[in-house]
Amino acid sequence: MTPMKGVLRFEEKEKSSPRFVGPFKILKRIDPVAYCLVLPPSLSVIHVAFHISMLRKYVADPSHVVDYEPLKIDENLSFEELLVEILAREVKMLHNRGIALVKVLWQNHQVEEATWEREDDMRARYPELFED
């Protein structure tokens, strides 16, 4: 469905707002030119009835399917992050003191999601990766 112009812009600025949002399931056909959609709770302020001019057919694309690996989840609904690789090192200066940081790639995450961690914490948790 196309986003509404004006006050509500689906949590984005006007230029960067998406042309279409969805896909959403059609709940029922109200009349020949209006449909009722099933919207998520985040769009609860929008009326569920839409004119057909605001809707577009969703064409299935295999690239839209996200492949995933199941996580090993504990009883308390948490999982252990495993360090895969150290991508970079950096020393941040805080007043007159340097803090050594390492950029860490975690298992089940992509390179863009790598985080900067304190080097001394990582040396304590993973001493085998820092044998020089």
Domain that holds residue 32: 1-67
84-87 LR contacts (CB < 8 Å, sep 24+): 86/122, 86/129, 87/111, 87/114
Residues 89-110: pLDDT tens digits?
999 988 889 999 999 988 878 8
- Quote the Cα angle for 107-108-112, to 5°: 90
Residues 56-80: pLDDT tens digits?
888 777 776 666 666 667 777 776 7
Q: Using pLDDT thresholds of 50, 70 and 90, give the confidence band for residue 8.
A: very low
Tokens, residue 89? 């090192």
Tell me which residue has tokens 């961690």. Answer: 117
Q: Are residues 45 and 107 in the same domain?
A: no
Q: Are residues 51 and 106 in the same domain?
A: no
Question: Can you tell me whether residue 120 is helix, strand or coil?
Answer: helix
Residue 61: the pLDDT is 75
pLDDT over 70, % of the chain = 77
Q: Are residues 6 and 40 in the same domain?
A: yes
Classify residue 46 by its DSSP letter: S
Q: Which residue has the higher pLDDT, 49 or 3?
A: 49
Residue 7: the pLDDT is 42
Cβ neighbours around 101 below 10 Å, total? 19
Q: Are residues 1 and 48 in the same domain?
A: yes
Domain boundary among the residues 42, 67, 92 is at 67
Q: Are residues 39 and 88 in the same domain?
A: no
Lowest mean pLDDT across 3-7, 29-33, 49-53:
3-7
Q: Are residues 88 and 114 in the same domain?
A: yes
Q: Are residues 10 and 58 in the same domain?
A: yes
Helices (H), ranges, the chain = 119-125
Tokens, residue 62? 């295999």
Residue 68: the pLDDT is 63
Q: Are residues 7 and 46 in the same domain?
A: yes
Q: Are residues 8 and 52 in the same domain?
A: yes
